[in-house]
């Protein structure tokens, strides 16, 4: 894949060129699957596509094989591991031993543990817990009580799921069960030099910063993130802090003043939050590569997963995912468009140069 340009790979995906099948793979962040270039599924938007040199990289990044184009066919070791993955998914609510999984993979338990983690970045046990958490969340959305959802997902105890949920849900199970009901989120809009910005905040801090050209689109995105929370447009009387926060961020974006240090209400998986917290440490004017972030957080093989975590960031600019670039210095991806990413980087680099001169 090193000899292929991104333009050439994206063109192969666009025309569904079978000659590139097996040469590289692409993931679609909106569906969570990865495919062969010739996949006949509905074409994804360019900004939602992630490129991978091999199957292992796609799966470490959190994508699962497409059931339409079957990108894992013909790969013997991966096929055995996929059988293990499928078994875990269909028996997640049961007690699964490493020995039983090793029989499926035709490997010793210790070897399976090592190979599984090398390939997917997590252990079989962690993967099972992740599937259980998905089952738990689905049960809550379907209207089951918290207690029934806990046991039907196979957690076995209430204390166990509360420990897991604090890392994966961003809110306690009772609040998640009602889609965020009971939470109040104030929001406001501002026009910036990179387009219309919307900020939302809970009583803990900013939970949402997104960009688009249409207020209705931004509001619908907030509703998707917090489907049953009470959404209130900010006024000076009801939420003076938010008015100050969004104006401070607007001045940073449009006038180049330092990025405001605002309280954040960050919600995501363990891995995502780990990545986002690291991004907060990157100095204004500096950039790092996806591989460097992976190295810094102690997971050097997770460069692709870093890109996915950046793509899932819903607090734009305040969590500065725009400061992460490809290894060759190219922009890479950005969920709000590469033009916006370039503007932010140029402004920050210019501001950093000015501050350096002043310091001298």
Is the predicted pLDDT of residue 219 greater than 90, yes or no? yes
In this prediction, residue 291 carries a pLDDT of: 92
In this prediction, residue 256 carries a pLDDT of: 74
Q: Give all domains of the chain, ordered by start, each with its CATH number.
A: 6-65 (3.40.10.10), 75-177 (1.10.10.60), 184-255 (3.30.160.70), 270-359 (1.10.10.10)
Is the predicted pLDDT of residue 346 greater than 50, yes or no? yes
pLDDT band at 134 (very low <50, low <70, confident <90, very high): low
Strand pairing partners for 319? 316
Query: Exposed, middle or buried by CB within 10 Å (0-12, 13-18, 19+), for 213?
Result: exposed
In this prediction, residue 103 carries a pLDDT of: 81
In this prediction, residue 139 carries a pLDDT of: 57
In this prediction, residue 357 carries a pLDDT of: 38
In this prediction, residue 179 carries a pLDDT of: 52
Task: Provide the percentage of residues in the chain whose pLDDT is more than 70.
Answer: 75
Residue of 179, 88, 165, 161 whose CA lies nearest to 128 = 88
Each residue's pLDDT tens digit, 74-110? 455 666 777 888 888 788 777 888 888 888 877 788 8
Q: How much is the average pLDDT of 32-55?
A: 89
pLDDT band at 313 (very low <50, low <70, confident <90, very high): very high
In this prediction, residue 162 carries a pLDDT of: 40
pLDDT band at 112 (very low <50, low <70, confident <90, very high): confident
Q: How much is the average pLDDT of 300-319?
A: 90
In this prediction, residue 252 carries a pLDDT of: 84
In this prediction, residue 155 carries a pLDDT of: 52
Is the predicted pLDDT of residue 171 greater than 80, yes or no? no
- Cα distance between residue 17 and residue 285, in whole Å: 40
Q: Which residues are catalytic?
A: 35, 321
Q: How much is the average pLDDT of 273-300?
A: 87
Each residue's pLDDT tens digit, 177-206? 555 567 888 899 999 989 999 999 887 788
In this prediction, residue 157 carries a pLDDT of: 45
In this prediction, residue 129 carries a pLDDT of: 73
Q: How much is the average pLDDT of 275-291?
A: 88
Strand pairing partners for 177? none
Query: Exposed, middle or buried by CB within 10 Å (0-12, 13-18, 19+), for 42?
Result: exposed
Is the predicted pLDDT of residue 16 greater than 90, yes or no? yes
Q: How much is the average pLDDT of 242-267?
A: 81
Whole-Å CA distances, 125 to 14, 98, 247, 258, 320: 38, 8, 45, 44, 32
In this prediction, residue 163 carries a pLDDT of: 43
Is the predicted pLDDT of residue 160 greater than 50, yes or no? no
Q: How much is the average pLDDT of 276-284?
A: 86
- Cα distance between residue 269 and residue 309, in whole Å: 9
Is the predicted pLDDT of residue 355 greater than 60, yes or no? no
- The CB-side HSE value for 103 (13 A sphere, CA atoms) comes to 5
Q: How much is the average pLDDT of 48-57?
A: 82
Q: In this structure, what token pair is assigned to residue 152?
A: 């039907």
Q: In this structure, what token pair is assigned to residue 162?
A: 């509360």
User: What is the DSSP secondary-structure string of 6-27?
Assistant: HHHHHHHHHTT-GGGBTTBEEE
Q: What is the mean pLDDT of the chain?
A: 78
Q: How much is the average pLDDT of 300-316?
A: 89
Phi/psi-derived region of residue 194, left when phi > 0, alpha when psi is between -120 and 50, beta in every other case: alpha
Q: Are the C-beta atoms of residues 307 and 290 closer than 8 Å to each other?
A: yes
């Amino acid at each position: 894949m090193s000899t292929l340009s991104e333009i050439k790979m994206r063109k192969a995906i666009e025309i569904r060129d079978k000659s590139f099948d097996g040469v590289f793979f692409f993931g679609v962040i909106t569906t969570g699957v990865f495919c062969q270039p010739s996949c006949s599924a509905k074409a994804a938007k360019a900004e939602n596509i992630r490129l991978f040199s091999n199957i292992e990289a796609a799966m470490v990044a959190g994508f699962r094989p497409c059931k339409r184009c079957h990108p894992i066919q013909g790969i013997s070791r991966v096929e055995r591991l996929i059988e293990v993955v499928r078994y875990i998914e269909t028996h997640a609510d049961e007690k699964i031993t490493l020995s039983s999984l090793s029989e499926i993979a035709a490997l010793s338990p210790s070897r399976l543990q090592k190979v599984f983690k090398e390939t997917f970045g997590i252990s079989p046990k962690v993967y099972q817990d992740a599937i259980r958490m998905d089952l738990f969340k689905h049960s809550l959305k379907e209207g089951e009580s918290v207690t029934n959802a806990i046991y039907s997902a196979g957690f076995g105890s209430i204390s166990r799921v509360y420990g897991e949920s604090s890392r994966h849900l961003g809110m306690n199970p009772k609040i998640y069960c009602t889609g965020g009901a009971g939470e109040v989120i104030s929001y406001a809009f501002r026009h910036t030099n990179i387009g219309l910005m919307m900020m939302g905040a809970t009583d803990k801090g900013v939970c949402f910063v997104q960009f688009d050209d249409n207020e209705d689109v931004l509001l619908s995105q907030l509703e998707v993130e917090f489907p049953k929370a009470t959404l209130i447009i900010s006024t000076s009387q009801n939420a003076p802090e938010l008015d100050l926060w969004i104006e401070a961020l607007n001045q940073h974006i449009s006038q180049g003043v330092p990025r405001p240090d605002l309280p954040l209400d960050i919600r995501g998986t363990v891995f995502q939050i780990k990545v986002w917290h690291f991004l907060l440490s990157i100095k204004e004017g500096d950039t790092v590569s996806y591989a460097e972030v992976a190295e810094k957080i102690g997971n050097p093989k997770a460069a692709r997963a870093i890109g996915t975590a950046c793509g899932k960031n819903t607090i734009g600019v305040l969590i500065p995912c725009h400061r992460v670039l490809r290894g060759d210095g190219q922009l890479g991806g950005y969920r709000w468009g590469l033009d916006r990413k370039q503007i932010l980087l140029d402004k920050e680099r210019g501001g950093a140069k000015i501050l350096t001169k002043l310091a001298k």
